[in-house]
């Protein structure tokens, strides 16, 4: 049954993903169930999306209520969920003005446009440059791809947007070396996700902030993956004592309802996008914004940040024990519940094994297992995960590594 469905899917869908052979049917808490009823412990959360876990009654009820009331109107008019959601995004991001999008990539597109418009308003020039980081990931749309630090992703689609320069992440001198009179923005993830789970060094991000302040360059932080409580604060930048000028958020923002946002300080907004400069038909629609409101509210109610800070210490300690135990594991790193376990070889075979044993994990780059579980996991869930993972590692090292 499941195999037939997979065969059908492979005939109909454009083959842009190498999918694992499983069809998921429903979720409950931190578990997923496939169409044949098999249970999986989920340490992927739909790529750092489903932060609250599955089947949360308050969240589901809020969405059902909104479906019956009003799903969409358009940005020609106001709607209450968007008004409430904007206030919440402001409160939690520390920014002053919000624009709602439908995805992470679109949040980056908007952030880039906002930065260019700011620079254009200031001097009327159209030759501004943006500095992005090597090994970064900002999305697959043309603008987001242009600032993604992976030549392999970019090359087939060139020419992309121009005047992008790349610097080395966590290397302040390399950023400084790329700055010119035309630099209008520096874009980076506060914790690099797809590129291998690299948190920014405090000196680096503080140094970049200083450079930006000195030269009126805008700092764009992409917290699409590392935001929304994942690192133990609602946004990761809070832990560094710096503030971005423009912030991009998405993924867990709607916990599965496709939504994103970019937000900026009033100082930037005053010289940036105005009526006619940007738009989105769906962006900020009542259903998506109701999801945002519910997610922020439930994060407070369920004391999610406290849980992240408690459980992440335990997860880190347990992953360190794996580093000690297996000679093919090199190290582990990350921040909060965004962690990578670094192998000396590709991890794809391990992922097949963990899935077979009932654990959903993904990679970040070829050699790194990525742990981005729902933010409500318990220590017991970590223990359960380790039982499956060690079994998978033992099987894999016995069968495949030899
Ligand atoms: C996932 C991700 C994106 C792109 O988001 P989409 O919703 O897939 O467009 C951008 N930046 C970062 C850091 C991400 O993790």
CA distance 173 to 182: 18
Regarding the beta carbon of 371 and ligand 1, being less than 6 Å apart is answered no
**In sequence order, what DSSP letters do the residues of 38-72 get, joined into one string?**
-EEEESSHHHHT-TT-B--HHHHHHHHHHHHH-S-
Could you give phi then psi for residue 339, rounded to 5 degrees?
Answer: -135, 150
- Using DSSP's 3-state secondary structure scheme, residue 246 falls into strand
CB distance 186 to 133 below 8 Å: no
Give CA separation, 170 vs 127, 135, 200, 209, 376, in Å: 27, 11, 6, 13, 30
Q: Mind listing the pLDDT tens digit for each residue in 154-178? A: 999 999 999 999 999 999 999 999 9
Whether residue 27 has its Cβ less than 6 Å from ligand 1: no
Give me the residue label for tokens 């133990």.
Answer: 232
pLDDT in tens, 1-47: 789 999 999 999 999 999 999 999 999 999 999 999 999 999 999 99
Nearest-CA residue for ligand 1 atom 6 is 104
Chain-centre distance of CA 372, in angstroms?
A: 10
In this prediction, residue 402 has a pLDDT band, given cuts at 50, 70 and 90, of low
pTM over 0.85: yes
Q: Tokens standing for 3?
A: 């195999």
Indicate whether residue 46 lines ligand 1 (CB < 6 A).
no
Which atom of ligand 1 is found nearest the CA of 140?
9
Question: Could you write out the DSSP letters of every residue in 350-392?
Answer: HHHHHHHTTEE-EESSTTEEEE---TT--HHHHHHHHHHHHHH
Residues making up the chain, counted from first to last: 402
Task: Tell me the pLDDT of the chain averaged across its residues.
Answer: 97
Q: For residue 47, report the distance from its CA to the centre of ligand 1, in Å.
A: 9
Nearest CA to ligand 1 atom 10: 138
């Amino acid at each position: 049954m499941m195999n037939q469905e997979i065969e059908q899917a492979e005939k109909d869908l454009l083959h842009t993903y190498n999918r694992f052979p499983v069809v998921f049917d429903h979720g409950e808490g931190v578990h997923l169930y496939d169409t044949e009823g098999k249970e999986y412990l989920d340490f992927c959360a739909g790529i750092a999306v489903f932060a609250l876990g599955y089947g949360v009654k308050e969240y589901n009820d809020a969405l059902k209520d909104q479906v019956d009331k009003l799903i969409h109107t358009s940005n020609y008019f106001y709607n209450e969920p968007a008004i409430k959601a904007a206030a919440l995004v402001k409160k939690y991001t520390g920014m002053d003005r919000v624009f709602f999008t439908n995805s992470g990539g679109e949040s980056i597109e908007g952030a880039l446009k906002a930065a260019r418009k700011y620079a254009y308003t200031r001097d009327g020039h159209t030759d501004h440059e943006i500095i992005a980081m090597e090994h970064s990931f900002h999305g697959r749309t043309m603008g987001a791809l242009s600032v993604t630090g992976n030549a392999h992703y970019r090359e087939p689609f060139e020419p992309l947007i121009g005047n992008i320069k790349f610097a080395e992440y966590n290397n302040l001198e390399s950023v400084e070396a790329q700055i010119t009179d035309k630099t209008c923005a520096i874009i980076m993830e506060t914790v690099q996700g797809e590129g291998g789970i690299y948190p920014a060094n405090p000196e680096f991000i503080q140094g970049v902030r200083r450079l930006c302040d000195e030269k009126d360059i805008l700092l764009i932080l992409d917290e699409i993956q590392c935001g929304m409580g994942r690192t133990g604060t609602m946004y990761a930048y809070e832990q560094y004592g710096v503030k971005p000028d423009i912030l991009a958020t998405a993924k867990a923002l709607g916990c599965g309802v496709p939504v994103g946002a970019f937000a900026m300080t009033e100082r930037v907004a005053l010289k940036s996008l105005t009526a006619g400069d940007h738009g989105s038909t769906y962006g900020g629609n009542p259903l998506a914004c109701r999801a945002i409101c519910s997610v922020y509210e439930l994060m407070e109610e369920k004391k999610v940040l406290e849980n992240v800070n408690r459980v992440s210490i335990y997860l880190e300690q347990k992953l360190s024990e794996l580093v000690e135990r297996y000679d093919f594991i090199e190290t582990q790193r990350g921040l909060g519940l965004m962690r990578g376990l670094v192998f000396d070889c590709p991890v794809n075979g391990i992922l097949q094994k963990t899935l077979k044993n009932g654990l959903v994990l993904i990679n970040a780059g070829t050699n790194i297992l990525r742990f981005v579980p729902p933010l409500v996991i318990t220590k017991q869930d970590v223990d359960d995960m380790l039982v499956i993972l060690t079994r998978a590692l033992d099987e894999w090292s016995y069968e495949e590594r030899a």
